[in-house]
């Protein structure tokens, strides 16, 4: 019988009601839950009145939480159970707490820890470049390495990819990130109330609504601020518009990488049309400035609603026809099918989420499993695919594009009344003391989660952010095993993960 306690998602819990276990019990029980099919939503360290503590939030069909005092070093959980892998490395980097026996004790983002302890990785941070690290090497006469990045050939974010290859075949890909590190978590817990929503929206600009919603819901839970039904509908529309723009952009980019230029250009243009619909709602193509604690800053008045409806009605057949064009082309299928497969067992061990997880057979979707906003009233299909290849990752997007258009059309049909809010500052100044709120939302890349702990004065004690990319980068590395290096761009696009969301 687990001593972890069930907590609500998007709700407030008194910290006193979260079991504070002896470390050994915490470890055994966390392992037990995850080995039996549970997943890690959050696992982080924080400092409370001079004492280092751990907090774990796991998910089965419900959310489970427990904490413990953090030892100086401890037997790694990862050596028994892979989904803890990056979380333990992150804790080591942020707070200098060493997981003994961790199979891959490497820095995550390359920065000094938050509490001036000796560095776990023996890095010299006067050196500017992450990559001050011996990459994993395959030895052999015919092995060669390919190093790519941090500055890539396209207009994209920076990261370093190190391939160990035999001929064209990739034996191992190692991904080193951290170039985008801006100190987001430190900023979030020291920011003035008026700055905090802006910071949350800028964690990853392509997931503005996903992260903005997690922030707003956490503040609403901690300050007991109600949100009216109209605002929930507008937020749901905004999250689906974000999904549409990005999925359509990804499908276009995938076509570009298999040299099918016509649909690549059509979807490039149509993606912009969907970004413009976010601008129609709130004045910003990425939805920045729309979601705030307590609701939304902009109402959906009849004129805007009518324009939105007309544009979606106009775009829907175009989208469907381009989708048909892409997926009926034998040249596309020849490149997509069987390329970069991640099987269900590997995906499960890595803890993949979002479209990448669903493409590998993991049906989890926070919109269905931990529904918030208007999602409890919507039917979200499972969208899981068995093959785990580029084709599956593209087809999940195919399904979701069609569903998102339907969802938006359905929601536009509803009359939406909402009382617009401004900055949500009153809510941010009235957080309940000694509490925890954990929020989950299905962004277009998968599960976005924020966990906010307050101290006994109601100040933010720890603000923990997790972008879905934190789970999924190792999925890309796994997909490249035994794949031709020339298929890297295609696989990379099929995951299209966030660098800044990971690097924070």
Q: Which of 153, 226, 457, 486 binds another protein (CB under 8 A)?
A: 153
| Interface residue with another protein, options 19, 71, 105, 205 (CB under 8 A) | 205
Dihedral pair phi/psi, residue 63, rounded to 5°: -95, 135
Minimum gap (Å) between residue 394 Cβ and another protein: 17
Report 171-190 residues binding another protein (CB under 8 A): 178-184, 186-187, 190
The residue assigned the tokens 């941070």 is 125
Per CB under 8 A, 99 contacts another protein? no
Q: Pick the closer one to another protein by CB: 60 or 265.
A: 265
Interactions with another protein, residue window 383-422 (CB under 8 A): 422
Tell me: does residue 289 bind another protein (CB under 8 A): yes
User: Measured from the CB atom, is 63 or 394 closer to another protein?
Assistant: 394
Considering the rule CB under 8 A, would residue 282 count as an interface residue with another protein? Answer: yes
Q: How many of the chain's residues bind another protein (CB under 8 A)?
A: 75
According to the binding rule CB under 8 A, does residue 333 interact with another protein? no
CB-wise, 68 or 416, nearer to another protein? 416
Name which of 57, 71, 66, 123 is nearest 100 in CA terms: 71
Phi first, then psi: what are they for 309, rounded to 5°? -60, -45
Three-state SS string over 359-390 comes to HCCCCCCHHHHCCCCCHHHCCCCCCCCCCCCH
In the region spanning residues 292 to 321, those forming contacts with another protein, defined by CB under 8 A, are 297-298, 304, 307, 317-318, 321
**276 lines the binding site for another protein (CB under 8 A):** yes
Cα distance from N-terminal residue to C-terminal residue, the chain: 36
Place of tokens 């938050």: 114
Nearest to 102 by CA among 125, 124, 120, 123: 120
288, 305, 397, 464: which one contacts another protein (CB under 8 A)? 288
Q: Which is nearer to another protein, 283 or 338 (CB)?
A: 283
Centre a 10 Å sphere on the Cβ of residue 19 and count the other Cβ atoms it contains.
16
- Asked whether the beta carbons of 188 and 203 are under 8 A apart, the reply is no
For the bound state, the minimum distance from the C-beta of residue 203 to another protein, rounded and expressed in Å, comes to 7
Nearer to another protein, 41 or 245 (CB): 245
- Under the binding rule (CB under 8 A), the answer on residue 279 touching another protein is yes
Contact string 242-271 vs another protein (x = CB under 8 A): -------x------------xx-xx-xx-x
Q: Residues 45, 86, 107, 500: which binds another protein (CB under 8 A)?
A: 500
Return phi, psi of residue 54, to 5°: -105, 150
| DSSP one-letter code for 207 | G
DSSP state of 75: E
Assigned token pair, 182: 């801006």
Measure CA 263 to chain center. Answer: 27
* Of the candidate residues 56, 233, 300, 322, the single one contacting another protein (CB under 8 A): 322
Per CB under 8 A, the segment of 8-16, 99-107, 279-287, 426-434 that binds another protein is 279-287
3-state secondary structure of 276: helix
Closest CA to 10 of 198, 169, 151, 221: 221
Which bin fits 490, alpha (ψ -120 to 50), beta or left (φ > 0)? alpha
- Do 65 and 2 touch, CB atoms closer than 8 A? no
Contact status: 155 vs another protein (CB under 8 A): yes
Exposure b/e, 449-465, CB count within 10 A at least 16 = b? bbbbbbbeebebbbbbb
Q: Which of residues 37-76 bind another protein (CB under 8 A)?
A: none
Cis peptide upstream of residue 49 (ω within 30 degrees of 0)? no
In the complex, least distance from residue 474 CB atom to another protein, rounded to whole angstroms: 20
The reply on whether position 498 binds another protein by CB under 8 A is yes
Complex with another protein: residue 70 or 248, whichever CB lies closer: 248
Q: Select from 204, 222, 227, 233 the one that contacts another protein (CB under 8 A).
A: 204
User: Any contact of residue 285 with another protein (CB under 8 A)?
Assistant: yes
Ramachandran angles phi, psi of 465, nearest 5°: -115, 135
203 belongs to the binding site for another protein (CB under 8 A): yes
Shortest CB 205 distance to another protein, Å: 3
Residue pair 182/500 in contact (Cβ under 8 Å)? The answer is yes
Q: Does 191 bind another protein (CB under 8 A)?
A: yes
* Residue placing its CB nearer to another protein in the complex, 233 or 347: 233
């Amino acid at each position: 019988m687990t001593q972890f306690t069930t907590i609500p998602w998007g709700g407030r819990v008194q910290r006193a009601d979260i079991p504070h276990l002896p470390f050994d019990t915490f470890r055994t029980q966390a392992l037990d839950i995850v080995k039996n099919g549970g997943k890690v939503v959050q696992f982080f360290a924080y400092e409370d009145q001079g004492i280092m503590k751990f907090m774990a939030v796991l998910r089965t069909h419900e959310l489970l939480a427990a904490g413990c005092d953090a030892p100086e070093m401890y037997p790694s959980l990862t050596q028994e159970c892979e989904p803890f892998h990056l979380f333990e490395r992150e804790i080591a980097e942020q707070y200098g707490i060493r997981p003994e026996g961790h199979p891959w004790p490497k820095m995550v983002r390359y920065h000094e820890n938050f509490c001036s302890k000796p560095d776990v990785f023996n890095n010299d941070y006067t050196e500017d470049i992450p990559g001050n690290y011996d990459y994993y090497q395959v030895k052999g006469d015919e092995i060669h390495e390919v190093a790519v990045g941090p500055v890539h050939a396209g207009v994209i974010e920076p990261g370093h990819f190190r391939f160990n290859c035999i001929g064209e075949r990739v034996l191992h890909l190692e991904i080193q990130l951290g170039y985008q590190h801006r100190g987001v978590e430190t900023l979030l817990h020291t920011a003035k109330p008026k700055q905090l929503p802006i910071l949350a929206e800028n964690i990853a600009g392509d997931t503005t609504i996903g992260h903005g919603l997690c922030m707003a819901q956490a503040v609403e839970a901690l300050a007991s601020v109600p949100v009216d039904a109209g605002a929930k509908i507008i937020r749901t529309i905004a999250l689906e518009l974000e999904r549409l723009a990005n999925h359509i952009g990804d499908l276009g980019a995938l076509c570009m990488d298999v040299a099918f230029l016509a649909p690549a250009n059509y979807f490039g243009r149509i993606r912009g049309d969907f970004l413009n619909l976010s601008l129609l709602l709130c004045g910003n193509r990425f939805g920045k400035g729309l979601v705030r604690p307590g609701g939304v800053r902009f109402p959906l008045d009849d004129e805007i609603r009518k324009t939105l409806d007309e544009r979606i009605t106009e775009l829907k057949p175009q989208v469907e026809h381009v989708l048909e064009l892409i997926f009926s082309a034998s040249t596309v299928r020849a490149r997509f099918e069987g390329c970069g497969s991640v099987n269900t067992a590997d995906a499960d061990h890595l803890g993949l989420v979002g479209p990448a997880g669903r493409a590998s057979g993991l049906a989890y979707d926070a919109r269905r499993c931990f529904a918030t906003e208007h999602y409890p009233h919507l039917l979200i299909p499972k969208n899981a695919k068995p093959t785990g290849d580029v084709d599956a990752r593209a087809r999940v997007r195919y399904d979701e594009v069609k569903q998102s258009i339907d969802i938006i059309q359905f929601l536009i049909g509803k009359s939406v009344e909402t009382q617009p809010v401004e900055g949500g500052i009153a809510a941010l100044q009235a957080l309940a003391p000694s509490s925890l709120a954990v929020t989950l939302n299905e962004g277009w890349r998968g599960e976005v989660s924020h966990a906010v702990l307050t101290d006994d004065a109601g100040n933010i004690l720890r603000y923990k952010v997790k972008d879905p990319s934190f789970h999924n980068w190792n999925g890309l590395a796994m997909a490249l095993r035994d794949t031709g290096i020339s298929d890297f761009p295609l696989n990379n696009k099929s995951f299209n993960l966030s660098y800044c969301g990971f690097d924070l």
